[in-house]
Amino acid sequence: MLSKDKDKSVASKESTPEGAAKRQEDGAGTPKQQLLDIIGNMKVEVSYRKKLQQLKASESKKQAMNELEGLDSEGSVPQGITEDTQRGKPLNPELVKAASAVASSLPHNKKQTVSELLAQLRRHEETTDKQKKGGTVNIRNVISEMTVKRQSSAQRGARISGRFSLQLDEDGQRTRPARSSAQSVDSRRSLKVGKRLNIFTKASTEPEHALKTVSSPTIWDLEFAKEVAAVTAQPPRNGFEEMIQWTKEGILWEFPIDNEVGMEDDAEFHEHIFLEKHLEGFPKEGPIRHFMELVICGLSKNPYLSVKQKVEHIEWFQKYFEEKKELLQEI
């Protein structure tokens, strides 16, 4: 536990140096350029494990020195911010010892270095605490963050333009708070971690919503649906997609082809063809029967009449022959 803390703290206190060190490994440049790079790109996300590895890999103390130079001037404000938000527990004494060891190894003002490093540590520990708790939104924090961020975005232009002249005086003092807090915000800038607005609560199954009457879609809904559909409505990329589009519109036959599409015929095929059962009213032999069988044969081959119409035909004949029955029998 202790060692892990120490590693983390070592990593965290070297976080900015590490970010800069990484960048310096990437691109060569004068030390001043490197310093300017740091100031300009204070958005490197602090990933502790990666930084730890890089810490082990990098060797140039000189680089660390340069970074601390930058760290010096910005060290003042982190203390200010930490004073605002008090931390519950004090820093690990091991960390304090480590910080003083680092300070003693460097040729700068030892006391100042120590205090700045510790302030930085405090800030990072605070950050980790907050994130560990999965922090609820403290509205004050949100608002304080917001104002500071605004300052930073306003000062951003000044920062970039002042790139080639390090202004460590009043301007420096003013840009520092923005930068360091921007750094803290940016270090947490990720889609995965972060707080939520906490305005809405997740709606569990709500019966009253289910009961809500769904009115017919208004013109707003229809037009919105059309607009959304138009987003992904691209012209067809090959012949098959064109056929798909035509099928959806109703221009093309649907596969597998059913050649009875569009025909409403509630009678089955055998009712069309096997019409002998309608011949029961006719005599079983004789020319009439013969005639009627021919009629039936013709009707069965007729695709244009419905069953009802065919039956009507046969009945007409039946009626006709009934009427003429007397006449026929005379013959």
Partner 1 sequence: MAKSYLISLQVFSGAARIVQCHGKVQSCDCTLTASSSGSRSSSSSTALGKTVDNAQVTQEEIVLPRRKTWDKLAVLQTLASTVNKDPTAAHYMFQDDPFLMPRNAANSRLYSLSKESGRNAAKYIIKNFPQYFDKTFAEPNIPCLMPESLTPQTEGVSEEALRERIHLRMVKESVDMFDQLLQGGTPVSLETTNSLLDLLCFYGDGEPTPENEQEEKEDLEEPEVNASEQKAPKRQFERGSQSSGPRWRENNHAERIFKIMPERNAHSYCTMIRGMVKHGAYSKAYDMYIDLLNERHKADVHTFNALIRAAPYLKERFTERWELAKDFLTHMAQQKVQPTLLTFNSVLKSLRRCGGVGRTMSLLVLKEMEALDIEPSLASYGHLLSMYYKGVDAQSSDIISEVLDEVEKRSFTAQDPDDASFFTTAMQVCCDLKDIKLAYQLNKALEKGDNWKFLDVNQLNSYWSKFFSLLCMMEQIEVVLKWYREMSSSLFYPGPKNILDLLQALDAANQLEVIPSVWEDVKQLGFSRRRDLLEEFLSLMSRDQHPSEIQLAFAKCAEEIKAVHEPAGPAQVPLEWTGSALGHVVVLFSRAGRIQDAWNMMEHFQKINRIPTDKVMDEFLNCAKQTNCPDEAIKMVKLAASLGLLSSQRLKSRTEEEFELSETQKKALESIKWDGDSSDSDSDSSDSDRE
Which residues are near partner 1 by CB under 8 A?
A: 41, 43-45, 137, 145-147, 149-150, 152-153, 156, 160, 185-186, 189-192, 194-203, 209, 218-220, 223, 227-244, 247-251, 254-256, 261-263, 268-270
Q: Taking the complex as a whole, how short is the minimal distance between the CB of residue 142 and partner 1, in angstroms?
A: 8
Cβ proximity to partner 1, 5 vs 271, nearer residue:
271
Asked if the peptide bond before residue 256 counts as cis, ω within 30 degrees of 0, the response is yes
Amino acid at 262: G
Q: Which residues contact 308 (CB under 8 A, 6 or more apart)?
A: none
Kindly tell me which of 101 and 244 has the beta carbon lying closer to partner 1. Answer: 244
Least Å distance between CB 223 and partner 1? 7
Q: Is 262 exposed, middle or buried (0-12, 13-18, 19+ CB in 10 A)?
A: exposed
- The least distance separating partner 1 from the CB of residue 262, rounded to whole angstroms, comes to 3
Distance CA 161, CA 198 (A): 39
């007409």: which residue's tokens?
316
Exposed, middle or buried by CB within 10 Å (0-12, 13-18, 19+), for 68? buried
Minimum CB–partner distance for residue 227 and partner 1 (Å): 5
Nearer to partner 1, 40 or 172 (CB): 40
With H, G, I as helix, E, B as strand and everything else as coil, classify residue 164: helix
Count of Cβ atoms closer than 10 Å to residue 117 Cβ:
23
Nearer to partner 1, 146 or 297 (CB): 146
CB of 137 to partner 1, least distance (A): 8
Report H helices in the chain.
2-13, 15-26, 31-40, 48-57, 61-74, 76-84, 93-105, 110-133, 139-161, 170-187, 207-211, 219-231, 239-249, 269-273, 287-300, 307-323, 325-330
Measured distance CA(179)–CA(166) in Å, rounded: 14
Nearer to partner 1, 4 or 248 (CB): 248
The region that residue 155 occupies, defined by phi over 0 for left and psi between -120 and 50 for alpha, beta otherwise, is: alpha
Closest approach of partner 1 to the CB of residue 143, in Å = 8
Tell me the HSE value of 182 on the side-chain side, using a 13 A CA sphere: 22
CB of 7 to partner 1, least distance (A): 23
**Shortest approach of partner 1 to residue 19 CB, angstroms?**
10
Residue nearer to partner 1 on the CB measure, 189 or 289? 189
Nearer to partner 1, 3 or 232 (CB): 232
DSSP string, 190-232: -SSS-------------HHHHHS--PPP-HHHHHHHHHHHHHT
Of residues 151 and 318, the one with the C-beta less far from partner 1: 151
23 or 110: whose CB is closer to partner 1? 23
Q: What's the closest the beta carbon of residue 292 comes to partner 1, in angstroms?
A: 26
